[in-house]
Amino acid sequence: MTRLNVFLVIAIIFSAMFLVHSHYEARRSFMALEAASKEATRLELEYERLQVERRAQASPLRIEQIAKQQLQMRLVTPGITQYVKQPADLQVPAATAEEKTSGAKP
């Protein structure tokens, strides 16, 4: 009878230790999950902020301002526009040009 009691006590101790260990691992896993969730939320917020910043950087008004200030560009006016004409020997027949642009094959 004493051998059975000793065996049962040892089994209960191992069972209790396993239970404590499994609860500890579950808690640790939950904490890691929470940390990953917070990191994901932080990254989503940063991504949204960067998207807004990118849209602001690419706005047409900002591009025009940079072109005027840094590159000293100015708006096109008819007085300074120069037109380039293609020489007659290099002109493409109208039918061929239409086929090339439409993608149709004869």
Query: Is 70 exceeded by the pLDDT of residue 95?
Result: no
Residue 43: inside a domain: yes
Instruction: Determine the structural domain holding residue 7 and report its residue range.
Output: 2-75
How far apart CA 43 and CA 25 sit, in angstroms, is: 27
Per-residue pLDDT tens over the stretch 53-67: 999 888 888 888 888
8-12 average pLDDT score: 96
The whole-number pLDDT of residue 22 equals: 98
> Which residues lie below 8 Å from residue 14, measured CB to CB, with a gap of 6+?
none
Per-residue pLDDT tens over the stretch 74-88: 888 888 888 888 887
Q: Is 60 left (phi over 0), alpha (psi -120 to 50) or beta?
A: alpha
Residue 102: inside a domain: no
Over pLDDT 90: what percentage of the chain? 53
Residue 55: inside a domain: yes
Query: Is 80 exceeded by the pLDDT of residue 106?
Result: no
Q: How many domains does the chain have?
A: 1
How far apart CA 21 and CA 32 sit, in angstroms, is: 16
